[in-house]
Every structure is written in C-alpha cells, then in structure tokens.
Structure 1
Amino acid sequence: MPELVVLTEQLMAPVPGGTGRYTRELVTAMAQSPPPTWTVACVTATHRDLSAADVPDVAGPRALPLPRRALTALWERGVHLWPGGDAVHAPTPLAPPAPRRGRCMVVTVHDTVPFTHPETLTRRGAAWHQAMIQRAARRANAIVVPTVAVAEDLARHAPGPATVAVVPHGVPEPFRVDIEPALAQATASRLKLPDAYVLAVGTVEPRKGLDVLIEAMAKPYGPDLPLVVVGPRGWGEVDLAALAERHRLAPGRLRVLGRISDDDLAVVLRRAAVLAVPSRAEGFGLPVLEALAVGTPVVHSDVPALVEVAGDAGVAVPRDDARTLAATLRAVLDDGPGTERRVAQGRLRAEAFTWQHAAAELWRLHTRFFAMASAR
C-alpha cells in the first residue's frame, strides 16, 4: 500500500501561526479522502513530546532521529535523509533536498515575502526561505501555492521546472457552522469581549501592519470603538501597548487576547463590527476568508493576495496609509446597505473555499507524480 508522509514539524513550533493551521487542516482533510490503497502518516523531528503533531486518523507522528535544528541544517546542506513514504508533502519549505528515486515530493510555498519583503523577516529567516524555495522550484515534483498572486511572484523570484499548482485554503469547520447563542455569549463573557469592536487577527509581527492599524484607530475620524487583537507574539518585538501609548489611543481601547482556539475565534469573528487586515505582505490571508464565511465586514490592505481572496466582498486600502484606513473603517461601519451587500457576497464567496477541495487537488498531484516516478 503506498504511503503519503506529511511533514508536520510546523505543528511543533512554539508559534505554529497560519502555516500550522494550514498543516493541520490539510492533513486532516487528506486523511479523510485518500485514494484507494493509500495511507497517510505524519513525521516530525525528534521532540520529547510529539502530542502537538497528533492528527486523528493519521498514522504517527513518527520522529526522525534528529532534533529540529539538526534536521533543518541537514536538509539545508543537501543531505538526502528521506522521511519515509512513497510520496512526501511538505506544508512549508522545510523539506528534503529532492525526492528519492521512485518517489515524489510536493512542497507548499505560502508566500514570496522572503523575496519581496525580506525586511519583515529576520535576516537568517529570509535567506533560509529564499534558498529552500529556490531549491524546491528546481527539484520538487510540484509546488503548491495558495493564490495566483504567489504563483506570479514565484515565477519571477524562484523559477524552475517544478509544476506550480494554485490550491486555495479552505474554511475550517468552526467558521461554517452556527453557534448556539448561549455558548457564544458564554465565550464572549469569558474573553471579556466589548459589545462592539474592530478586530485584527494574526501573529503579532512587523509585516502584519498592526502599527498602522493602531495609528488609524487613534485618529479622530476613525471608528470610535475598541480594538481587539487575536494572535500569538511573533518575532520583531512589536509592542502593541507601547504603540497605543505612542499614538495616544485612549486607555482601555486596546484588548489583546493572544492565541485562542478556533472555536473561540469563530465567536470573536462573528461578534466583530469589522475585521481589519492592514498587512504589508501576505500569501493568502486566512482570517479574511474566515470573516467572509461568518458574515463579518472586511477592510484589508491592497496586498494582491488579499484582494484576490476577498474579491468584491472586501474593501481595499493602500498599505501603510493610516489616514485612509481610519476613514475606510468608519465608512464601512456607517454604510449599512453597502456593507450588507458585501457581507452577502462574502458568504457566497467563502462557500467555494473548502479543505476537501484542497485535499483532492493535493491527492491528484501526488498520485500523478508517484505514478510517473514509479514508471521510470
């Protein structure tokens, strides 16, 4: 029986972030719909506790005989340690140098930020991602990207013979189902949510543009609402409280929830007056899609991937423009009929994005390239 091995090391990261959510959703969906005779397993580096990488109905997690840092260095230097399986899917650029003979490998590249906005990453992080993405473009059987915008950037910055397939993300289940009002109210009370608020969702790091959002919220013509921020702290020492003080955002108007579960996030998104996504660079923008699915208005930056995902259901503003962001947030809140129309469009748009579709596309790639590799 052929086996697909998914590298789930991102689930073990201190801050799994959006790529961690992608990894879990994708491997779960692929395990639910394997082609006949195929099985799915997950593999990580060596850790004392592998429970964070445990996925229902997936074999493993199995640990390779190296800790994360050593495994990363080994693959970076081109050592061909194969993680097992007949096909390997790498949900991030952390991947073997090339597929083994008779095997195939597909790598997901979430964005081209290391090439287009290297200043929003650490110097080491940008260089590592550039090298690994360029190598995958040369040696992997296929590269999966979430948007056409990323595919176009990839062709400019990391051209190669690998097939490039655009496979959008899906809407996770908690954002597709109705929530019992009593449960939603209990969650809101536990999280001490304001009655109405502007929401931002994402890892707290420089490229998310939260400094611009806080400046916008402090403008006198911006929304007279609290700002709620959801997401773990990332790199870059972005101090939201210090930013609020610098821009004179009134005390008590900033509420930082940190990392929360998807079930809690579904409640927080539904109760938000508007989702603000002021990112400087993105490859997809899953919070945009989730907000559309639950019927929350979205104001986002003009990053091409965000425009692509939101379509006409979102309102785009120029990056790094706090004045326009403030005025647009206020306008969306004040424009009842226009906002209702975009919300309805957003719900319909989100229905087309499913993890089942993403899994089917990934299986199509793996079975195609495994058959080709086996025939050689």
Structure 2
Amino acid sequence: MLKSLKTIRARALQLAAINYLPILVKTSRRAVDSLRPVKPVDPTKQRQLLIDVSIIAAHDAGTGIQRVVRSILVALFKSPPSGIEMRLVKATRRRSYVYANDYSASLTGRAFAADSPVTVSSGDIFLGLDLSSRIAPRRQGDFLRWREQGVLCAFVVYDVLPALHPYWFTTRASRSFRHWLATIAIHADALMCISQAVATDVTNHMEQKFGIPQGNVQVGWFHLGADPTPCADRNFFPTSRTDRIPRPAPDELVILMVGTIEPRKGYAQILDAFELLWQEGHTVKLVIVGRRGWHTDDLTARLSQHAEAGKRLRWISEADDAELENIYQTADGLAMASEAEGFGLPLTEAARYGMPLFVRDLAVFREVVGKYATYFRANNGQQLAPQLRQWLDAVRDGIAITSEPVVPLTWQASAEQLKTLITRVGVANPCH
C-alpha cells in the first residue's frame, strides 16, 4: 500500500511539472516540503555529494553548458568539498539514478567499481550540475524517495531563457525546459545560478510564475571560470581546425565571435553591420566560431555561401579547446551581440588576453566585465554599423577600452565559489 501511495505521489508530481500549471506546482511544493522527516545525520556515515552528469556522461558535445560541467568537475575532483564524499550519478528517463563510475574514471584516470544503484542517507546532497531537462521531470520518484530519507536537493541554473523567450528555441527544447523548471520549483532546497542576473530572474520567475515566495528556496550565485591553454601561435590565422593560412597584414583587424549559431546570439545583426563596412572598403575580418544550432537555416546558408566566405568572413563550426585558444590569441577584439545570456563566457575568455570587447548593453555583461568593454545598443545592422565603425577605429588606433583590468576566475576559483554555496544548502537564511 505504501509503495502504491508513493507511486501515485510521484505521478502527481510528474503531471504538475509536465503541465507547468502554477497552482499544481505550488500545491506539489507544499506537499513535498511536508514529507521531509526530522532525521539526524548519522555521524558514522560520510555524507555524499551526488552530482548529476546524466547528459555529459552519455555524450560530451564539448560546447556550452557541457564545457562548464566538465571544467567544474575537474576542479572539484582536484579539491573536493571538505568532509563530503563526491560521487557522480546519472539516470535516464526510464532508469533511476546509478553511480556514474565509468565517467568518473574517464575524468580522473582512477579506477572505480562498476556502475551501481545510488544509496542515500540523511544529510546527503544531490546537485543537478548538468542540465538534464528531459530526464529530471521523469525522475521525481527518486527525488521524492530521497527527500523522505533526508536528502537535500540543489540545482545549478544557467539561465531561464527558454521559459522567458521560447521563440528563440525549438518547441521541444522549450517544452522540456519548462518541465524541468517546474520540477526544480517543486523539489529544490537550493538553486545555484551562474550570475547575479540569473539569480534575479530565477527568484522573480519562482514567485511570479509559481507563487513560491522569496526565501522558500535558497537562491545563490557564482561566476564561471576561464583557464588558458598554452598552445597559441600568433603567426597563423585559422580557417578551420586543420587548414590555416598566414595571418593577415598588421593593419587588417581580426574580430572574433564565439558561440553556438542560434537566433538570440545576434550573428545576423553583426553580419549586416560588417557588410555595410565592407561596402565602404573596410578590410576588417570577422571570424565566427560556433556550431550550427537551431532556427538558423537561412543564417548558416548565408555564412557558408557569402561572397566574403574564406576571405573577410570565416565560420569555424568545429574547434576544440586548443584550437579555440589559438583563435583567441590571434584576434584583435571580441564582439558579443547576444540579446540575452546567463553569463557570457567568451567575455572572460577574451579578457585573459586583455582584448577590446564590443558587446550589447546587457546587465549580465556589465556584471561580468563592468566598465571594461564598449557597449552598444542597436535594433538592426544599420543602427549598429556606425557604432561598430567607431569601435574598430579605436581598436586600430590603440585607444579602445580594453579588458586588461578584468581578472577572470580560474575554474578552480569558480568551483570554490560553488563549494561555498553547497555548504550552505539547508542552512537557514544563508547569505551570498
């Protein structure tokens, strides 16, 4: 009978998340909060930090969130949280969580036992580091069972853009993200955001969408890192991962953009502005490094078939960490035209070389690099072109604002900030 009741509860929670109905989520949150037993931590048993790696353990795409997940994990393995055993875990939509020992071995080079079902006890912490938006809503039975055993649940939030701007994403991705967001609204004891801007968005969304008041869920934030790879050669200019040609003449600037080719990144607007400058005779080169994303068939065809492709315009769809590092050191400046971001990792990566930054005026970008960038506001390429021209002239003359004063975190320092948030999970009224 008890098992059937738990099954019914888990199914009800799953429906609440999948239907994304505020009243269902709010009611489910109250029900879940009432289930936590007053259970002391067993002092003879070491607490576990169970880190979800469900997506990256199955396939590491090497971009975006997975670059962050991998970098944080490597740093955490070098310096684990004190007094807690760190274990990686994974699940699928149909299979409960197991220890991801094979993936742990691949990261550390150490031997681990075969993957086995996760066992928990009071005081353990589950950390959703990977964005498993299609898995977590189906694993609410696990979260429910763990909560009844005294486990605390925390999730890293990279942004809430698929919920705020669903038209920027595929229908499936936006729907899955909303299910995940409702799931964490129901189960999370703490949410760890990658910027203060995201923390504000999350707090507002939880209150406005689900009626969960501030303070009901701990919300904290940390910043991402950027470690250099000593591999660059400034004598070469990239055309692809394997094909290079001599770097352009010294008076020919190279401007870099980094990120997946997707609607919100502003690539089309930047390209429109560059085309206007090229028509005026400017020789500046634009290098775009990013994989093809979604809703961009017209844009990617434009990049591939452009009259300047291979000349003043280069699109590199595949670049490993070493290649990307080389490109950063080759560029004279970085442009970032995203209409929204959770952090803006290319800014800190470029700041390691002190290069000039030309970025859209977003609160999160000002949070990350402050006054050490040139900010623009524009609704189209025609509005952007004169601002871009002025910045390029300043870069060429050596008078552009540079990011040299910015001191990016290392991934180790980023992991230390995250560890501080982890130690506060479940502590009353924690402060950042």
* TM-score (structure 1 length as normaliser): 0.79
Deviation at 1:135, TM superposition (A): 2.9
Matching residue of 2:411:
355
Matching residue of 2:37:
none
**1:153 is matched with which residue: 186, 201, 204?**
201
Unaligned runs of 5+ residues in structure 1 are 66-81
Alpha-carbon distance in structure 1 between the residues aligned to 2:366 and 2:103: 37
Within-5 A mapping of 1:317-356: 317-318=376-377, 320-336=379-395, 342-343=401-402, 346-351=403-408, 353-356=409-412
Matching residue of 1:105:
153
Q: What secondary structure sits across from 1:224 in the alignment?
A: coil
Query: Does the aligned pair in 2 maintain the 1:303–1:319 contact within 8 Å?
Result: no
Matching residue of 1:364:
420
Matching residue of 2:259:
202
Moved more, 165-174 or 333-342: 333-342
Query: Does the aligned pair in 2 maintain the 1:208–1:278 contact within 8 Å?
Result: yes
Query: Does residue 1:10 correspond to 2:36, yes or no?
Result: no
Structure 2: which amino acid aligns with 1:284? F
Query: Does residue 1:23 correspond to 2:61, yes or no?
Result: no
Alpha-carbon distance in structure 1 between the residues aligned to 2:174 and 2:354: 35
Alpha-carbon distance in structure 2 between the residues aligned to 1:172 and 1:218: 34
Tell me how large the CA RMSD over aligned residues is.
3.4
Alpha-carbon distance in structure 2 between the residues aligned to 1:21 and 1:61: 26
**1:166 is matched with which residue: 208, 221, 231?**
221
Structure 2: which amino acid aligns with 1:111? D
Deviation at 1:370, TM superposition (A): 6.7
Query: Does the aligned pair in 2 maintain the 1:231–1:259 contact within 8 Å?
Result: yes
Query: Does the aligned pair in 2 maintain the 1:44–1:63 contact within 8 Å?
Result: no
Alpha-carbon distance in structure 2 between the residues aligned to 1:303 and 1:58: 43
Alpha-carbon distance in structure 1 between the residues aligned to 2:314 and 2:273: 16
Alpha-carbon distance in structure 2 between the residues aligned to 1:246 and 1:299: 26
Deviation at 1:41, TM superposition (A): 2.7
Q: Select the structure of larger CA radius of gyration.
A: 2
Matching residue of 1:266:
325
* Count of residues in correspondence between the two structures: 347
Alpha-carbon distance in structure 2 between the residues aligned to 1:149 and 1:248: 39
Q: Deviations over 1:14-48 (max 9, x none)?
A: 7453100110111111122223443323233479x
Q: What secondary structure sits across from 2:371 in the alignment?
A: helix
Matching residue of 2:184:
136
Within-5 A mapping of 1:84-123: 86-94=124-132, 95=136, 96-97=139-140, 98=143, 100=147, 101-123=149-171
Q: What secondary structure sits across from 1:235 in the alignment?
A: coil
Q: What secondary structure sits across from 2:223 in the alignment?
A: coil
Alpha-carbon distance in structure 2 between the residues aligned to 1:268 and 1:135: 40
Q: 1:339 to 1:146 in 2, by over 3 A?
A: farther
Deviation at 1:305, TM superposition (A): 1.7
Matching residue of 2:34:
none
Alpha-carbon distance in structure 2 between the residues aligned to 1:202 and 1:146: 17
Structure 2: which amino acid aligns with 1:164? V
Q: Deviations over 1:323-367 (max 9, x none)?
A: 343333322221159965632xx233234x232333223223333
Deviation at 1:206, TM superposition (A): 1.5
Q: 1:275 to 1:136 in 2, by over 3 A?
A: same
Structure 2: which amino acid aligns with 1:171? A
Matching residue of 1:44:
90
Q: What secondary structure sits across from 2:107 in the alignment?
A: coil
Alpha-carbon distance in structure 1 between the residues aligned to 2:54 and 2:281: 41
Deviation at 1:290, TM superposition (A): 0.6
**1:287 is matched with which residue: 330, 337, 346?**
346
Matching residue of 1:35:
81
**1:306 is matched with which residue: 354, 359, 365?**
365
* TM-score (structure 2 length as normaliser): 0.70
Deviation at 1:303, TM superposition (A): 2.9
Matching residue of 1:78:
none
Alpha-carbon distance in structure 2 between the residues aligned to 1:312 and 1:61: 50
Deviation at 1:219, TM superposition (A): 0.7
Moved more, 92-101 or 303-312: 92-101
Q: What secondary structure sits across from 1:348 in the alignment?
A: coil
Query: Does residue 1:56 correspond to 2:84, yes or no?
Result: no
**1:218 is matched with which residue: 275, 278, 291?**
275
Alpha-carbon distance in structure 2 between the residues aligned to 1:121 and 1:186: 36
